[in-house]
Structure 1
């Protein structure tokens, strides 16, 4: 009996002493065709979205829109001709704004959003408005037409704004504080 236990223990020790080899991670390289197809699909979706926006702008014969190099369109509702300062990075601005869809259906009203205190380029805000606010003088009102990639993108806002939804926002700059 003692010999059987000794043999069993010896075999167990030999089996356990075998050097364990680490498992290698499985590396799957992304297919370049999948990546190219994803890029092409994004380009197609952006073109469709841009056509919708341009259609809305063409139908608005009362306003003249400018295109920003940052990928949004804007028109002045109230333009101040005086030589007044515009917001700079680090300024805190007070503004009122709303958000509508491209057909001017209100998503968030100015009343619902209230006055916004925004520290220019130091806080997260709608991407296009972060840039657009720096065009404004105190007292000016601008309507921005914003494609989804410059607004809430692929995720929407998790509430009323859907995925890949273009929006319009009319913003009034009330004050600039240093």
Structure 2
């Protein structure tokens, strides 16, 4: 009796042990809904910012605003028509100053706070809108740029005075461009 009970238990373990493993079901199922929602949220934010920027431009018809291919608006306060001066290229050293304002015109950072900047074109950190804006300027020129938030400090802001998703206005003056040797 004991002998047959042991054989029965061993046979039971063998049969149960031979069962193939079953795949476990995932605890959560992810779909593309988060990404889809994020895309819609960003499109809506972009449309809202574009309307606000276009309203500012409409209030200043005397200024000849242009839209860049990089998604921001600008006009030249001081434009140099000389062909002898060139815009900066990769590695050129640029000396410039700028300020940052919100769309209401309130100064966030003054030129004094930001001081005169020395920047190696495309080799140092600078927010994308200003980096692209500097590429449009020659030494001696001044321009005003209006950057939507994605071209400014984006979702995180500057973690100091500039909040999240804040479009900004920058008044920029380029003093010199030293070309890379």
TM-score by length of 1: 0.83
Deviation per residue, 1:12-43 (Å, 9 max, x gap): xxxxxxxxxxxx8x585531233212211211
| Structure-2 separation of matches of 1:27 and 1:173 | 57
Cα-to-partner distance string for 1:104-145 (whole Å, 9 max, x where unaligned): 111111111110001101111021111111111110001000
Q: 1:29 to 1:68 in 2, by over 3 A?
A: farther
Query: Corresponding residue for 1:39?
Result: 39
Where in structure 2 are there 5+ consecutive unaligned residues?
1-23
1:58 and 2:63 matched: no
2:133 is paired with a residue whose SS is helix
Moved over 6 A (4+): none
Is structure 2 residue 139 aligned with structure 1 residue 138? yes
Provide structure 1 residue ranges, at least 5 long, that are not aligned to the other structure.
1-23
- Between the aligned partners of 2:144 and 2:113, the Cα distance in structure 1 is 18
Task: Give the distance between the partners of 2:29 and 2:49, measured in 1 at CA.
Answer: 32
Deviations 1:57-93 (A, max 9, x none): 1111221110011110000000001111111110110
Hey, what does 1:5 align to over in structure 2?
none
Q: Counterparts in 2 of 1:50-129, with a 5 A limit?
A: 50-83=50-83, 84-129=85-130
Aligned CA-pair RMSD: 2.0
**Which residue of structure 2 aligns with residue 18 of structure 1?**
none
Separation in structure 1 between the aligned mates of residue 30 and residue 48 of structure 2, nearest angstrom: 27
Q: How many residues align?
A: 158
1:158 counterpart = 2:159: yes
